[in-house]
Structure 1
Amino acid sequence: VGLGPAMIRVVVLGIAVVSAVCGVLEADDSLETWEFWPRTRRQVRPTGRRKQISDSFEGKEGPFLGGGVTRPCLVDAFTRERAHAGCNQGYGSVLWNFTDISIHSRALREVLQFIPREVPALSHRDLAAAELVRAVRFDLRYTDDSGGTQLAMEMSDGGGLRFWNPVNLGSMFFLELEAAASSPPLVHRAAVAQTKAGHHTVFQYYAFPAITAARGPPPALPLSLTCMTFNVWNVNPPSYLYRDPEARWQRYSSRLDQLAQVVRSTNPDIIALQEVRHDDLFGPPNQPRASSSSSQIRHIVDRLPGYQYVYHPAMMYLSRERGGTVREEEGPAILSRFPILNARHLLLPRDVHDGEDEHQRACLHAQVLVEGWGVVDVYSTHFSLSEKGRDRSVGSILDLMHQGEGSLQVLMGDLNAEPQERAMRFLRGEADIGGHTGDLRDAWLDLHPEPKPGSTDPWEVKHALTFPSCNPVKRIDYIYWRQGPPAGPSRKVELKSCDVRGQDPTVETQGYHREGLGMLDMDSPVWASDHRAVVSTFELS
């Protein structure tokens, strides 16, 4: 085929450009770093090679206490406050990278347009009448060296195109709006996640009176408050068992329906959740992939209307196969029927050399304004699989609780420890760690005897042990509490009940029984979770 002069010039120019690019990229050490890349005919994939790039942190204290143990780090994302200069991560494997954003930003406009779709309490009209007083953006720059620098992955199209891509898995937006014209005047806060594909979901929404002083006569005592803790088993069942996305989604949806039924039957005022998962690649099959359908916090709050909520990931997973663009993370959440005043998270210390302490853990703290009680401090956490990690965590959490101002402080979660372990005895004031001891009360032990681990007693199996739901052998889910100073000498907080919930599978699957049947068997009953819930009711008198 003959080529005209113009076509020859185009071909030669194209060859020159490709040769120049390939010449630059030929040697590994000289590969360019590209934040974005143009479309190519071949699909760009990670090669599996990774390296750290760019100094991303300037703190003088550094991230380590010594010996590979990271510092605990208390973070308030709305105010961008951190406990010390050694806090170089916003959360697990994500570098500290908070910046103010312009009110004229296109990204911000998209976020504000999206919020009313997921938050019925905040309409477009409400947004239009409110004043935006705070807008913070947090880019999810991934680190692989405990927070020193940003991770980059080598990308290739299988041909001559290769480059380093800094791993950035999306953004978080933290927004505060004041609605002075509402009655009463309200402050709204929302945290909105944005994926690399531009999809959004609301990770946090809460609102509180701009003036929190009590109005009118105080409510008559006694006043009750019911709290629940529930590990929600992330987005199980796993994909390696359910290859068919439709079958997996149906099983998961049935399980979450059962979880919501357990919650509604108890009607708690405040709920602490653990293992709440976001996965960009998980959601209803055969539907356009949108971030909201990929977020378990949405699946839960859609089933439980009437709650404000805060969710913040603790750990981030990076898959070599998925590349540096897919967001998958997990962490604690708190839901409340009462106004949430503030929320922050404590990154717990971990040993980067301990395989059982691999994942970053966090304690989420919310201050809840409860009528008649004033402020109640609520903490939701999920402890490490490492015993040494748990021993470190309890001291950090107790330090956080000592900063609390609530009339009642409630620590709830899956603590991955049985009651006789040192970390649990420390919290109860029965053991010393580092010259200190705790002063909390185990709600279960306040009202019940300790069940024997692995007990075959029918009552203990049914009503005392919490894990696993298919064959409970241990108690590892807890509600710890103490009365705070603001309750005053004339008012007393009492624990009225503590019970285990979520024992029964769905009605349709209750008859599925055979020897050795477990949670991950495809013919097993459908329980709400692999953990049971624990519920306590407190009374202020």
Structure 2
Amino acid sequence: MFNWEIRKLKIAKLIKSSNPDVIAFQEVRCGYSKNENQILELQKLLPAYKWSFFKCSNKVQKIKHSIKKGYNKEGIGILSKLEVLNAKAEELPYTYGPDTNKRLLIHVKLIQEDHVVNIINVHFSYDRQQQCGNAAALLDYVFRKRLKNVVLLGDFNTYNDFEAPMDLITFKPGHAMTHCKQELQQIGNRYINFDDSWQKLHGKDHTGLTFSNMPFPGLESRPDRILVNSETEVISASLSGHGTNYKRQYRSSIVFSRFQTVLKQAALSYHSISGFSCFHDCGPHGSCRCGVCIADGNDKTCHLPNCIEYEEYFPSDHLMLSVTLKYTIS
């Protein structure tokens, strides 16, 4: 939600530049109406993507004393240039642990060159052991449906030191046997194996990083994956986008948006409105002042009407992971 009105322009430009057939989204903000979500906002900027599917799942935690209203839930979804034959959402079973958020999979059947491709978008738990349960439930869904030409993609919340859930999906039973033993036994015999598309082309190096594990700056982990069934040929796998470019290209728009925000906060203060003025928490390195997240540590937050303006804080980069696939149809 940081500068969403500006960021969505950058995201749309990034999508146009990369030109993928299908895009999967996680942590998409939405309202109570089915016509209120950020995917629909992006679709208006991307007319080539005629098909979309989205499912809200969880309420967004409201910040204490917040004065902001707007999207109050989040979910996952897709945009597609390819014709969608069928789309459905299924809730992954809850496994015991601290993460009580609903975890979904979205299954979309697409037509590509006269054959069906099954795209499954997921957002796994942040809890390590619950990730094992999510992985087992995902595989169970694929096996029950007897799906072919399958692409599994999304935010798997994978940690560098805990690849067991990914090993479960890609059938590397060494780590999975140690950390996801019960789930490995539940799966039993499988008829399809999956490969990590990035590793299939680039090997097990430290490239392909997509996320900064706060509070430390810089890309450190690879929670975002695209997994394909083993017989699928991966033509290319690449990362696109960079937060520094976003800041440079949209500098004037961001400054103007910030100026408007500060004026709005001044008007609210004049009308005796008080409280937290940003749309959501500014992270471990940012503070909220006058409706703007500023990069001056996390101890400078103020509530209206006692705020001043600082330099805006850019908490994350914009990256897109893309792969090109070739199917051998039997």
Structure 1 length normalisation: TM-score? 0.43
The residue aligned with 1:160 is: none
Amino acid at match of 1:502: G
The residue aligned with 1:299 is: 41
1:480 to 2:227 alignment: yes
Amino acid at match of 1:477: D
Shift of residue 305, structure 1, vs aligned partner: 1.3
Aligned length in residues:
256
The residue aligned with 1:310 is: 53
Shift of residue 416, structure 1, vs aligned partner: 0.5
Amino acid at match of 2:203: P
Q: Structure 2 matches for 1:65-80, cutoff 5 A? A: none
Structure 2 stretches lacking a partner, 5+ long: 178-182, 252-283, 288-292, 296-310
2:126 is paired with a residue whose SS is coil
2:109 is paired with a residue whose SS is strand
| Compared CA separation, residues 518 and 441, structure 1 to 2 (3 A) | farther
1:538 to 2:325 alignment: yes
2:56 is paired with a residue whose SS is coil
1:313 is paired with a residue whose SS is strand
1:268 is paired with a residue whose SS is coil
Deviations 1:46-79 (A, max 9, x none): xxxxxxxxxxxxxxxxxxxxxxxxxxxxxxxxxx
- The one of the two structures with greater contact order (alpha-carbon pairs below 8 A, sep at least 6) is 2
Shift of residue 403, structure 1, vs aligned partner: 3.7
Shift of residue 509, structure 1, vs aligned partner: 2.8
Q: Structure 2 matches for 1:247-326, cutoff 5 A? A: 251-279=3-31, 292=35, 294-307=36-49, 308-317=51-60
| Compared CA separation, residues 418 and 531, structure 1 to 2 (3 A) | farther
The residue aligned with 2:108 is: 366
Q: Matches of 1:480 and 1:403 in 2, distance apart?
A: 18
Amino acid at match of 2:218: N
1:314 is paired with a residue whose SS is strand
Q: Matches of 1:381 and 1:428 in 2, distance apart?
A: 16
Aligned partner of 1:497 among 236, 255, 262: 236
2:59 is paired with a residue whose SS is strand
* Contact kept? 1:466, 1:472, Cα under 8 Å: yes
The residue aligned with 1:382 is: 123
Structure 1 stretches lacking a partner, 5+ long: 1-235, 238-250, 281-289, 453-459, 484-491
Aligned partner of 1:430 among 161, 169, 172: 172
Q: Matches of 1:327 and 1:298 in 2, distance apart?
A: 13
2:211 is paired with a residue whose SS is coil
Aligned partner of 1:467 among 193, 201, 211: 211
Q: Matches of 2:245 and 2:9 in 1, distance apart?
A: 9
1:254 is paired with a residue whose SS is helix
2:172 is paired with a residue whose SS is coil
* Contact kept? 1:341, 1:366, Cα under 8 Å: yes
Amino acid at match of 1:315: N
Amino acid at match of 1:536: V
| Compared CA separation, residues 262 and 518, structure 1 to 2 (3 A) | farther
The residue aligned with 2:152 is: 411
Deviations 1:151-184 (A, max 9, x none): xxxxxxxxxxxxxxxxxxxxxxxxxxxxxxxxxx
| Compared CA separation, residues 518 and 537, structure 1 to 2 (3 A) | farther
Q: Give the structure with higher Rg (CA).
A: 1
Q: Structure 2 matches for 1:385-404, cutoff 5 A? A: 385-404=126-145
| Compared CA separation, residues 386 and 375, structure 1 to 2 (3 A) | same
Shift of residue 335, structure 1, vs aligned partner: 1.5
| Compared CA separation, residues 510 and 306, structure 1 to 2 (3 A) | closer
| Compared CA separation, residues 518 and 303, structure 1 to 2 (3 A) | farther
Q: Structure 2 matches for 1:320-339, cutoff 5 A? A: 328-339=72-83
| Compared CA separation, residues 291 and 444, structure 1 to 2 (3 A) | closer
Q: Matches of 1:530 and 1:506 in 2, distance apart?
A: 9
Shift of residue 518, structure 1, vs aligned partner: 7.3
Q: Matches of 1:405 and 1:341 in 2, distance apart?
A: 17
| Compared CA separation, residues 531 and 474, structure 1 to 2 (3 A) | farther
Identical pairs, percent: 25
| Compared CA separation, residues 360 and 261, structure 1 to 2 (3 A) | same
| Compared CA separation, residues 291 and 358, structure 1 to 2 (3 A) | closer
Q: Matches of 2:101 and 2:318 in 1, distance apart?
A: 20
Q: Structure 2 matches for 1:29-40, cutoff 5 A? A: none
Amino acid at match of 2:241: G
Q: Structure 2 matches for 1:17-32, cutoff 5 A? A: none
2:106 is paired with a residue whose SS is strand
* Contact kept? 2:155, 2:224, Cα under 8 Å: yes
Amino acid at match of 1:479: I
Aligned partner of 1:349 among 89, 93, 97: 93
Q: Matches of 1:274 and 1:291 in 2, distance apart?
A: 16
* Contact kept? 1:504, 1:510, Cα under 8 Å: no
Shift of residue 272, structure 1, vs aligned partner: 1.0
* Contact kept? 2:29, 2:71, Cα under 8 Å: no
Deviations 1:108-128 (A, max 9, x none): xxxxxxxxxxxxxxxxxxxxx
Deviations 1:447-487 (A, max 9, x none): 113234xxxxxxx4xxx21102961011110001116xxxx
Q: Matches of 2:250 and 2:13 in 1, distance apart?
A: 19
Structure 2 length normalisation: TM-score? 0.67
Amino acid at match of 1:313: C
| Compared CA separation, residues 275 and 302, structure 1 to 2 (3 A) | same
Shift of residue 526, structure 1, vs aligned partner: 5.3
* Contact kept? 1:390, 1:423, Cα under 8 Å: yes
